[in-house]
Amino acid sequence: MSNRPVIRRPAAAVSAALLVVVALVAGCANDRNGKSDSAGDSGPVAKVTLAPAADAKNVNPTTPVSVTVADGTIDQIALTNASGKQVAGELAPDRRSYKTTEALGYDGSYTWSGTATGVDRKPVPIGGTFGTLAPKNAVPATINVADNQEVGIAAPIILQFKASVPNKAAVENAINVTTNPPTEGAWAWLPDDNGGSRLHWRPKDYWVPGTTVQVTAKLYGLDLGAGNYGYTDLTSEFRIGRSQIVKANAPSHRMQVVRDGQTVFDFAVSYGEGNEPRNVTRSGVHVVTEKYEDFMMSNPPFYTNVRERWAVRISNNGEFIHANPESLSAQGASNVTNGCINLSPGDAQAYFPTALYGDPVEVTGTSIQMSAADGDLYDWTIDWNTWKGLSALDDSSAPGISAAPVAPGPPR
């Protein structure tokens, strides 16, 4: 599913070293009568402090950047990049300090320009150049839930990175999840089997309907390890919708849809035949991830490019809830499918518009339990203590999770 998280695209940055530039004045001057006045009589000169220091190298682009002036005020000031573009900033009301208000860019050169005037009423130049660090790679990441999206009560929060992340604890410390009402939950690192590291957050139990969720990931400028740094900050604000749970008991040959505690549908269905592992509908908590009014299913060598209607994906091993007229005579009486949950066209069409990303589908009564081998969203098959042990911030010795390859095509 597509993601549209709010992404801050940084412009520039800094590190914290200090340089003091002091303008010196002559010790004395003669008046017309041959008398001398000390320089101190006219007041002290402006003392300028730059952070980071002039000529600083490898400055992290998120480090605060500032200029402060003692014994004087700032007249003019600007920080520009190598292309001459000015970095946004703000001058304090007393004109004694200035700070940038946007992050800097990676591998950039930045130059101060301007003047300050001391109590002695003499100008002092503001100048200096520094450079920001150049990461081996700036690694993008995505959030699975978009802004303002409404999701089901089993929806996890997933951050998918485009490369492996060695500094996992640093990443967890950089992310904040705020919920209303407060919700107990935890992060877990799952195997890097999607092209990079992935971090999942889920509540201990299903979400309370109506919960609002805000995710803030301060990843830009973050050292991910192995010379890699975060590409952007990510945010997402979304809402948990109504409670809808699909109860799917294979021996009963039926499927109930329970919304806010009330059974709204009770369908005759057919599950996987179960005569061999490949066509066993997996038991456990599945999660709705996608849905298609029309979907071309393939499961070579058994079938290829078969058009199915009202298809709701519930795992990445190819399990769907979908219409199948060919199994109509078995629905409600026996299990004959290749692993999917088959409904009549009318029942499938009635269920289809009610399904949300994140709805739980609780399958019971089959011979094989859902696991990491069945795709990348098996969060609810892991018990809570084990889940917490998969956090980089948890000192427990809970075992890790390994994933077997996912079957290439969806059962029908």
φ/ψ of residue 187, rounded to 5: -85, 150
CB neighbour burial string for 86-106, b if at least 16 within 10 angstroms, e if fewer: ebebeeeeeebbbbbebbbbb
Q: Give the distance from CA 151 to its chain's centroid.
A: 16
Torsion of CA 71, 76, 81, 84, to 10 degrees: -160
Torsion of CA 66, 69, 75, 76, to 10 degrees: -20
Q: Which amino acids are annotated catalytic?
A: 322, 340
Q: Give the distance from CA 299 to its chain's centroid.
A: 33
Rounded distance, CA 165 to CA 230, Å? 10
Question: Residues 229, 235, 236, CA angle at the centre, nearest 5°?
Answer: 145
Q: Are 176 and 216 in contact (CB under 8 A)?
A: yes
| DSSP H or E run through 386 | helix 384-389
Rounded distance, CA 162 to CA 59, Å? 24
Amino acid identity of residue 381, one-letter, is T
Q: Are 323 and 342 in contact (CB under 8 A)?
A: yes
Rounded distance, CA 190 to CA 370, Å? 15
Measuring CA to CA, which residue among 319, 156, 325, 348 is closest to residue 250?
319
Sign of CA dihedral 316, 310, 335, 267: positive
Rounded distance, CA 33 to CA 40, Å? 20
Angstrom distances, CA of residue 191 to CA of 146, 199, 243, 405: 23, 9, 29, 12
